[in-house]
Amino acid sequence: MKLIDTHAHMDDEKYEGKLDSMIKNYVEEGMVLIINPSYDKASCERTIVLTEKYPMIYGAIGMHPHDAKDADEEFFSYIIEKTRNEKIVAVGEIGLDYYYDYSPRDVQKAVFKRQMEIAQDANLPVIIHCRDSHHDTYELLKTFKGKVKGVMHSYSGSWEMAKLYLDLGYYISFSGPITFKNSRKLPEVAANVPLDRIMIETDSPYLTPVPFRGKTNEPAYVQYVAQRVAQLKGISSEELVIKVIENTKALFTKI
Ligand code: NI
């Protein structure tokens, strides 16, 4: 069966020394591609190295809201330059996180907006991280309607909210939590999102799906996310993954 992971942090230190064998296995097991998003300058640099080394890994560059306080003009110039890299297919992950509030909210908003402008200028899609910040995230994305498209990564909101993002042209991506028994809102969202706007991901090394919850996540486990989403859509996992591959290529046009 083919597989795809639209969001995995393979540059995480947990995979150090293991990546060669992991990627070799993935090639044999049918993994088509992995998108590796960044969260700060060092992870952008590591991501670029991975995209050069492994054909199946594509990258996104950007400053996560947690680290927004570290974004300066030098960083913005750096990512503007790297958007031209042929295997950098998006700006991300960017957005707002009001759950942890690791950076002041006004700084998060300013850095988010600036990176949206960079994506627009580079004609690249965005990968959006949004936690407990749906109102402000939506309001900012709306100002770029028709100019920037993207994916709501590891979506955690309601179906009502998802409809608004769909109207802006965004894709909705599901990860491990869709497999959790206590997941209440997500099954409803997955059942309702049109097939041509769905993505799946692991967000490795975080958010490990059932039945491996508690262990380190890895892209191979995306099959459990695929199974659950496919079940909610009433189709086979194979059909779902084929659709997600199409959707991924439709949004990330450099792939
Ligand atoms: Ni992530």
- CA 198 / ligand 1 centre spacing (Å): 17
**What whole-number distance in Å separates Cα of residue 156 and Cα of residue 132?**
9
Q: Are 144 and 120 in contact (CB under 8 A)?
A: yes
pLDDT given for residue 183 in this prediction: 85
**Ligand 1 mean position to 93 CA, how many Å?**
7
* C-alpha 49 to ligand 1 mean position (Å): 18
- Whether residue 67 contacts residue 96, with contact meaning beta carbons closer than 8 Å, is answered with no
CA of 204 to the centre of ligand 1 (A): 7
Using the mean position of ligand 1's atoms as its centre, give its distance from the Cα of residue 91 in Å.
12
User: CA–CA separation, 149 vs 172, rounded Å?
Assistant: 12
pLDDT of residue 30: 95
> How far, in Å, is the centroid of ligand 1 from the Cα of 253?
20
199 burial (CB, 10 Å; 0-12 / 13-18 / 19+) is: buried
pLDDT at 141: 98
How far apart are alpha carbons 37 and 58 in whole angstroms? Answer: 9
What pLDDT is attached to residue 184?
A: 86
Burial class (CB in 10 A: 0-12, 13-18, 19+), 42: exposed
Ligand 1: centre distance to CA 175 (Å): 10
Going residue by residue through the chain (255 aa), what tens digit of pLDDT does each one get? 999 999 999 999 999 999 999 999 999 999 999 999 999 999 999 999 999 999 999 999 999 999 999 999 999 999 999 999 999 999 999 999 999 999 999 999 999 999 999 999 999 999 999 999 999 999 999 999 999 999 999 999 999 999 999 999 999 999 999 999 988 899 999 999 999 999 999 999 999 999 999 999 999 999 999 999 999 999 999 999 999 999 999 999 999
Residue identified by tokens 């497999």 is 179
- Count of CB atoms situated within 10 Å of the CB of 107: 14
Distance CA(238)–CA(229), nearest Å, equals: 11
> Which residue ranges form the domains of the chain, and what is each CATH number?
3-251 (3.20.20.140)
Query: Do the beta carbons of residue 92 and residue 38 sit within 8 Å?
Result: yes
Length of the chain: 255
Query: To the nearest 5 percent, what fractions of the chain are helix, strand and coil?
Result: 50, 15, 35
Distance (angstroms) between ligand 1 centre and the Cα of 205 equals 9
Q: Cα of 42 to ligand 1 centre, how many Å?
A: 15
DSSP state letter for 163: H
CA of 67 to the centre of ligand 1 (A): 13
